[in-house]
Amino acid sequence: MDYDHRKIEAKWQAKWAKDKLYEPNVSHPKKKFYNLWMFPYPSAEGLHAGHAFASTGSDVIGRFMRMQGFDVFQPFGYDSFGIHAENYAFKVGESPKVMLDRVTAHYEAQMRMLGHGYDWSRTVTTSKPDYYQYTQWLFVQMFKAGLAYKKPAEVNFCPSCKTVLADEQVIAGKCERCQTTAEKKKLSQWFFAITKYADRLLEGHEDIDWSERVKVAQRNWIGKSEGMLIEFKIQNSNDKIQVFTTRPDTLNAVTFLATSKLYEEGSREKKGVFSGDYAVNPLTGKEIPIWDTNYVAPDYGTGIIMGVPAHDERDMEFAKKYQIDIVDKAPDSALWQKIETEGWGKKQTNYHLRDWLVSRQRYWGAPIPMIECPKCGWVVDEKLPILLPDITDYQPKGDGHGPLANHPEFFQVKCPTCGGEATRETDVMDTFVDSSWYFLRYPSVQGSLAHPSGGGSHFTQGVCTAWDPEITKAWLPVDLYFGGAEHSVLHLMYARFVTMVMHDLGFVNFNEPISKFFAHGLMIKDGAKMSKSRGNVVTPDAYLEKYGADTFRLYTMFLGPMDGYPDFRDDGIEGMHRFVKRLWKLFEKGLSLKGAKRAPEGRRDLEGILHKTIKKVTEDIQAFRYNTAIASLMILVNALEGLTKTGSHPESGVARAAEGETLWQETLCKLLAPFTPHLAEEVWEKMGHKTSVHTAIWPKWEEKYLIEDTVTIIIQVNGKLRGQLSLLGPACRQAGVTKLAKEQVAKWLEGKSIKKTIYVPGKLVNFVV
């Protein structure tokens, strides 16, 4: 029977769904493994190959863990609120709701086609009321805990997205989403007080197994620096000036103070003007000039620094330019103590991290559940969900208000406290609030939650229904999170912060939501990053149709290590498809030989190859080196192919052992299962198994079979040494040796015909031409 991927893959996808193979018992897992992949935001008609690459990487480890005996929970959902989805809806001229219904159905179909083991009975769609009611509940908790506040602030504004942005969403001065240069605007906005958790966020790193580059990015973003606030008296005045310094030990060499009065962003050349005032160095009693400069930032520390030309390059450059004294005194660490004792200053810790700006002047987000009453101030509205109304004028205007501000039927409300006329907040929450807690929700989703009617009843004071306490205890923290490193200081930090707050409020019993985070790489196409503007975005659909999911999975996983930048090439997938067909043939052949006579003398060699492969594949999967795991499977397949050619290579002991031997068939099938789940399942069934290969137990290797014996085989042409081959012991007795030898000495054989091939197993090959 020819390999028919369409038939086989459709058959097993239907069967897995019917058998609920990927739906673990959430209430009573025996050994849990919560395997999470960052849910996508639907901002296109479907997933592209990059999503397929990353999600397959996550699925492979999930399948591997299931075969290690774990109850694997692998959920999928949609980060469907927010600018990404909204802008795509504008582009296609549909309301976000209509667009999402169509697009998410396609995402699901694609994910099912890829053969991923998702638990489809527990998905989340962040733009649906059954989800965002809880996002609103979370906001309420934040507010009640004093961690959500509204205040006027100088904020980043994207003129193209027509909304404010969080600090984390401004990358090198540009909007993270559309790359437009962000402007500064003074606006009143809602913030979450993430800065109160700065130390906890740093300390928590000790307890989690995350890619180092993500931890480093978070550490730098939090930017903790320990120093002192030191006071300088102004000469002939009662006024004082405070500076922030991390080097109080250099107070003995301070020769000027510098303010930020002339600050210019990005200026290269240091400039200054003498202010006319002098301060007094409390240690030396000397008069030092105060300069207004362009190189001190106004919003860091106190916006004034003590100038120490001898120890600070920037100060040196400035002092030289304006002929300010330079005092070369060695730093004195005793000064830390002395400054405190003398009362000149006190210890101070500064952070780069700012509070998280969560309000957006857009339509497509969770309404902020707050009401402003002229008498009572800001009051929470706990009749959740506050439904996002269906409106048609949902385009943002960029005037500092969201589209909901044009809808009095939405914002004119009664104050929940005093009953008087009040107004509802018309900004909505940023999508990063939605995604900051979705992993807490997944295990507790009960089928498809009906839309809660009536409102309010779900939310009792101090009780959380967003997640079930018992299920949460059983399944969280997430055991492995697969995702892109670009979210290091966005989603990944917000998720940690929100979880810590929920912990402190008693809603979860852990601090860190994600035990292990793996940062996967990015897929590129023909050498360039896949992007819509380049027009080189690969969608998996056509490939899945033509070659099938197993080929596609194997191909994308073979391209390179999971944290690399694999390059998608059409000729590559073609080649992989041929390999999958060979696999199919190999199993067919093996199955047809079933029951043949066993030849015990070759068994040890066969076991040698198998056990070596088991070890390699196991260790490589655990380290996310799927590419080399697949490479070793290819080597094994090459070897086995020779063996199953009955009778053709009588010199091969392994061949004789392999005939009728089911050992390799079962082992190979299991080792392939994470990569080619459909093919493996089909073959497994043909072997007579009644239960799924995906719940079978992963093979174990035994060290005794792994004794490394490399053999060098000499290759001769007409008795002359022309090359050599280095092979593992068992392999040197196999059928493919003469073929490999031929390739090695191809140039000596060119244009000649081989009359005779002499093979002395494990020693030499001689071609007589």
Which residues here bind ligand ANZ, judged by CB under 6 A? 225, 244-247, 250, 296-297, 300-301, 303, 305-306, 308, 311-312, 350
- Fill in the per-residue mask, 177 to 216: x = in contact with Zn ion (CB under 5 A), - = not in contact: xx-x------------------------------------
Cα–Cα dist 29/71, whole Å: 6
In the complex, minimum distance from the CB of residue 492 to ligand ANZ, in angstroms, rounded to a whole number: 23
Pairing status of strand 370-373 against strand 225-234:
unpaired
Q: What angle do CA 506, 507, 508 make, to 5 degrees?
A: 95
**Contact yes or no for 619/671 (Cβ under 8 A):** no
Cα–Cα dist 57/60, whole Å: 5
Q: Which is nearer to ligand ANZ, 246 or 417 (CB)?
A: 246
Q: Which residues pair with 717 in a beta bridge?
A: 720, 767
In the complex, minimum distance from the CB of residue 248 to ligand ANZ, in angstroms, rounded to a whole number: 8
In the complex, minimum distance from the CB of residue 178 to Zn ion, in angstroms, rounded to a whole number: 4
Q: Which is nearer to ligand ANZ, 143 or 291 (CB)?
A: 291
| Nearest Cα to Cα of residue 217 among 353, 102, 349 | 353
Q: Which is nearer to ligand ANZ, 280 or 696 (CB)?
A: 280
In the complex, minimum distance from the CB of residue 178 to ligand ANZ, in angstroms, rounded to a whole number: 30
Exposure letters 119-140 (e unless 16+ CB within 10 A, then b): beebbbbbbbbbbbbbbbbbbb
What does 250 bind: ligand ANZ, Zn ion, none (CB cut-off 5 to 8 Å by kind)? ligand ANZ
Cα–Cα dist 179/201, whole Å: 28
Q: Which is nearer to ligand ANZ, 306 or 671 (CB)?
A: 306
Peptide bond into 42 cis (omega under 30): no
The two tokens of residue 363 are 């339509």
476 contacts Zn ion (rule: CB under 5 A): no
In the complex, minimum distance from the CB of residue 255 to ligand ANZ, in angstroms, rounded to a whole number: 11
Q: What angle do CA 522, 527, 528 make, to 5 degrees?
A: 65
The two tokens of residue 338 are 């002395």
158 contacts Zn ion (rule: CB under 5 A): yes
Please count the other Cβ atoms lying within 10 Å of the Cβ belonging to residue 20.
11
- Total residues at the site for Zn ion (CB under 5 A)? 7
Cα–Cα dist 158/449, whole Å: 36
Tell me the backbone φ, ψ of residue 121, rounded to 5 degrees: -85, -5
In the complex, minimum distance from the CB of residue 263 to ligand ANZ, in angstroms, rounded to a whole number: 8
Segment near Zn ion (CB under 5 A); pick from 167-175, 273-281, 529-537, 631-639: 167-175
Q: Which is nearer to ligand ANZ, 94 or 332 (CB)?
A: 332
Segment near Zn ion (CB under 5 A); pick from 159-167, 291-299, 561-569, 633-641: 159-167
161 contacts Zn ion (rule: CB under 5 A): yes
Cα–Cα dist 50/54, whole Å: 6
Q: Which is nearer to Zn ion, 170 or 663 (CB)?
A: 170
What does 305 bind: Zn ion, ligand ANZ, none (CB cut-off 5 to 8 Å by kind)? ligand ANZ
What does 160 bind: ligand ANZ, Zn ion, none (CB cut-off 5 to 8 Å by kind)? Zn ion
Q: Could you give the 3-state DSSP secondary structure of residue 2? A: coil
Q: Which is nearer to ligand ANZ, 321 or 529 (CB)?
A: 321
What is the spatial order of strands in the sheet that 412-414 belongs to? 377-380, 370-373, 421-424, 412-414
In the complex, minimum distance from the CB of residue 617 to Zn ion, in angstroms, rounded to a whole number: 45
The alpha-helical segments, DSSP class H, found in 180-262 are: 198-203, 212-222
**Contact yes or no for 680/672 (Cβ under 8 A):** yes
| Nearest Cα to Cα of residue 544 among 694, 686, 678 | 678
In the complex, minimum distance from the CB of residue 148 to ligand ANZ, in angstroms, rounded to a whole number: 28
| Nearest Cα to Cα of residue 400 among 428, 361, 359, 358 | 361
In the complex, minimum distance from the CB of residue 300 to ligand ANZ, in angstroms, rounded to a whole number: 4
Tell me which residue has tokens 């600050």. Answer: 263
What does 98 bind: ligand ANZ, Zn ion, none (CB cut-off 5 to 8 Å by kind)? none
Residue type at 334?
A
Which 8-state DSSP code applies to residue 152? Answer: E
In the complex, minimum distance from the CB of residue 269 to ligand ANZ, in angstroms, rounded to a whole number: 16
Rg, C-alpha atoms of the chain: 33
In the complex, minimum distance from the CB of residue 95 to ligand ANZ, in angstroms, rounded to a whole number: 47
Q: Which is nearer to ligand ANZ, 311 or 569 (CB)?
A: 311
Residues 6+ apart with CB under 8 A from 255: 288, 307, 308, 309, 319, 324, 325, 326, 327
In the complex, minimum distance from the CB of residue 227 to ligand ANZ, in angstroms, rounded to a whole number: 6
Q: Which is nearer to ligand ANZ, 244 or 494 (CB)?
A: 244
**Residue of 138, 148, 175, 305 interacting with Zn ion (CB under 5 A):** 175
**Contact yes or no for 160/180 (Cβ under 8 A):** yes
Percentages of the chain per state (helix, strand, coil), in multiples of 5: 40, 20, 40
**Residue of 95, 160, 465, 646 interacting with Zn ion (CB under 5 A):** 160
In the complex, minimum distance from the CB of residue 219 to ligand ANZ, in angstroms, rounded to a whole number: 13
Pairing status of strand 516-520 against strand 480-484:
parallel
Q: Which is nearer to Zn ion, 161 or 493 (CB)?
A: 161
What does 515 bind: ligand ANZ, Zn ion, none (CB cut-off 5 to 8 Å by kind)? none
In the complex, minimum distance from the CB of residue 305 to ligand ANZ, in angstroms, rounded to a whole number: 4
166 contacts Zn ion (rule: CB under 5 A): no
Instruction: Specify the length of the chain in residues.
Output: 769
What does 603 bind: Zn ion, ligand ANZ, none (CB cut-off 5 to 8 Å by kind)? none
What does 161 bind: ligand ANZ, Zn ion, none (CB cut-off 5 to 8 Å by kind)? Zn ion
What does 598 bind: ligand ANZ, Zn ion, none (CB cut-off 5 to 8 Å by kind)? none
Segment near Zn ion (CB under 5 A); pick from 59-67, 176-184, 258-266, 457-465: 176-184
The two tokens of residue 14 are 């239907």
Q: Which is nearer to ligand ANZ, 247 or 582 (CB)?
A: 247
Cα–Cα dist 326/329, whole Å: 9
What does 246 bind: ligand ANZ, Zn ion, none (CB cut-off 5 to 8 Å by kind)? ligand ANZ
Q: Which is nearer to Zn ion, 165 or 683 (CB)?
A: 165
What does 175 bind: Zn ion, ligand ANZ, none (CB cut-off 5 to 8 Å by kind)? Zn ion
What does 336 bind: Zn ion, ligand ANZ, none (CB cut-off 5 to 8 Å by kind)? none
What does 178 bind: Zn ion, ligand ANZ, none (CB cut-off 5 to 8 Å by kind)? Zn ion
- C-alpha dihedral (433, 436, 441, 442), degrees to nearest 10: 120
Which spans of this chain sit near Zn ion (rule: CB under 5 A)? 158, 160-161, 175, 177-178, 180
